[in-house]
Amino acid sequence: MSAVDRQPAGARGPAPDLEIDEQGFALVDGRLVPLSEARVSVAAHGLNYGTGCFEGIRAYWQEDHQELYLLKLIEHYQRFARSASLLHISLGATPEELADATRRLLETSQIRQDVYVRPLAVKASRSIKVGLRPLEGLVAVYTTSLGDYMPLSGLALQVSSWRRIPDNAIPSRAKTTGSYVNAALALDQAKQDGYDDAILLDQAGHVAEASAANLFMVRRGTLVTPPVTSDILEGITRQLVLELAAEMGIPCLEREVDRTELYMADELFLTGTGVQVASVASVDGRAVKDGTVGPITARLQDRFFLAARGLDPDHRAWLTPVYGTSAKG
């Protein structure tokens, strides 16, 4: 069996709803400090008004290589820089410098397990006035062990009564901290109603995305996903999956998706740094086909994890090794 035929597991680690262990370290404005000492004031502008932005980056441990691989590290920091610029927060470093600092943080911590990296930039000035300038920013990076954000198959989703915030209200292309209240409300409603996650519609009534993940649909052998003009986050994992699909000869379309198409889809799955590639079994109590993982979803899921764990030599460029060892094909 070749490397690309193997079936790797998802992320290994604690559930996302467990409290973060503060035994590790964090970078705060370029300084290495114990995570337990990384604090901002309760009067910080970002805490009071949600004026901040963040990223989520996965790193996968590959035992055979004795290596920790950061997935799409530079791309995440490039998006982080765009989000920060929108909020007039100076990061004080280039994406490349932040990426190198993150690699050194993980190396110093001697982490040898799957890990989640959280870059965060917030307005730290103690100010009561709403606004963005000339408030000072604080930039931090911390890590935490994290398993699968949600199950990789069998997900039951609900179309939410909450609508996705339009880009003209809060920019959907930026991962701003305050905008995630929208996701939290939709997810809370779905959980209360017995579902795993929510699907939000945009203001025009078309499908946007899940609470914190992009959505893909398969109809008649074609992979379909809402366009970036449907108030979605321009997901890095979303783009990665589109690239994989193109390489595998799977037809792809980015177009508006109607709610009822979800009920008639042959396959549905979510993508994102947190959820990775996760198959959807039902929407609003209606099974997606027979409720099992579809063939296209399964192929993309397998290829994703092979690439993320350094087992696909065709996609080594997506990875940044922390310890610098030479991965074997």
Which segments within 97-154 are labelled E, that is strand? 115-123, 137-145
Q: Which two tokens stand for residue 99?
A: 């990426």
Residues 6+ apart with CB under 8 A from 169: none
Q: To which residue do tokens 């899940």 refer?
A: 210
Catalytically active residues are 175
For the CA atoms of 76, 10, 61, 248, what is the dihedral angle to 10 degrees? -60
Q: Percent helix, strand, coil in the chain (nearest 5)? A: 30, 30, 45
Report the 10 Å Cβ neighbour count for 208. Answer: 25
Q: Which two tokens stand for residue 205?
A: 């009534």
| Nearest of 276, 271, 278, 274 to residue 308 by alpha carbon | 276
The 3 state secondary structure assigned to 19-53 is CCCCCCEEEECCEEEEHHHCCCCCCEHHHHHCCEE
Q: In sequence order, what are the beta bridge partners of 287? A: 282
How far CA 32 is from CA of 20, 25, 36, 145, 255, in Å, comes to 18, 7, 12, 18, 45
Are 54 and 118 spatial neighbours (Cβ–Cβ below 8 Å)? Answer: yes
